[in-house]
Amino acid sequence: MTDIASATPSDPARGDEPDLLPKRLGVWSTLGWGLLVFAVTQAVGIIALAVWNVAHGVEALAISGYDGAQIALTTLVINALQVALLIEIPRWRLGARAFDYLALTRFSFGNLLIGVVAIIAVVAALDGISHLVRSDTVTPFETDIFTSGRAEGWLTAVIIAVVVVGPIGEEVLFRGFLFRGWVTPGWGGPIGAVAIPVLWSAMHLQYDWFGMSQVFLIGLVLSWLRWRSGSCLLTIALHMLVNLVGMVEVALKVGWSGG
């Protein structure tokens, strides 16, 4: 996990903007560090879940389906630690400014407008297709975490985890860290740009094949917008928008107060 590649002004990881980063982790180093961060954060999430369960008189590793409180807790812990580690790795390994390396940089209003229009169009199209292949656009996972979180008094935490913290953690990993190392000049760039949404959708095992396909297509759009704008902050904002729309759809279906 020590290979380092030189960045060039034509580096597609920064879209049309000159890439001022002198170095970046190579493809395999990026994969290795990414897997290590994923493994460490998942282990910490399991420990947090076990502590939570024991404190509530439940078997340490018992998982109550899609329980809102458990999902919120593990999402908050895993993603907060994940972001912290991914900020530190570029600084430690390369001496790079972490926010630049992860593309946590400003984006233009034009790119924001294009991104919002693109996301709205894709989500609307996917909702239309969903009505054709199944009767409901809201998944059991979404309704379960919403209703159980509401019953447990954890609904606010569920919404924060799903709409804010989850998108930040996932985007920093996939379209921040992995994108920087994988979307390189030459033939490897497009492969990396497609591989990232593939991995991103593969981690959403709570959905069926159609739900995972939706995640993949949204991921392709986010990868394109990350390349176009050179900003991971833009994809974070748009990811939040997607998840917010999903939560609103759930609330409309099951009711905010459950009455």
Q: Report the 3 state secondary structure along 114-170.
A: HHHHHHHHHHHHHHHHHHHHCCCCCCHHHHHHHHHHHHHCCHHHHHHHHHHHHHHHH
Closest CA to 145 of 157, 135, 127, 136: 157
Q: What residues contact 232, with CB distance under 8 A and at least 6 apart? A: 102, 103, 104, 105, 171, 172, 175, 176, 179, 226
- Identify which of 245, 65, 68, 154 has the alpha carbon closest to the alpha carbon of residue 253: 245
Q: Write down the H helix ranges in 56-97.
A: 68-94
Nearest to 37 by CA among 165, 169, 179: 169
Contacts of 247 (CB under 8 A, 6+ apart): 142, 146, 159, 162, 163
pLDDT of residue 185: 74
DSSP 12: G
Predicted local distance difference test score (pLDDT) of residue 4: 53
What average pLDDT values come out for the chain (259 residues) when binned by 10 residues? Answer: 47 46 84 96 94 82 79 95 96 92 94 95 86 75 91 93 97 96 79 91 83 90 94 97 93 76
pLDDT at 135: 59
Query: Do residues 26 and 181 touch, judged by C-beta distance below 8 A?
Result: yes
SS3 content of the chain, % helix, strand, coil (to 5): 75, 0, 25
Q: How confident is the model at residue 207, as a pLDDT? A: 80
For residue 206, the model assigns a pLDDT of 78
pLDDT at 74: 94
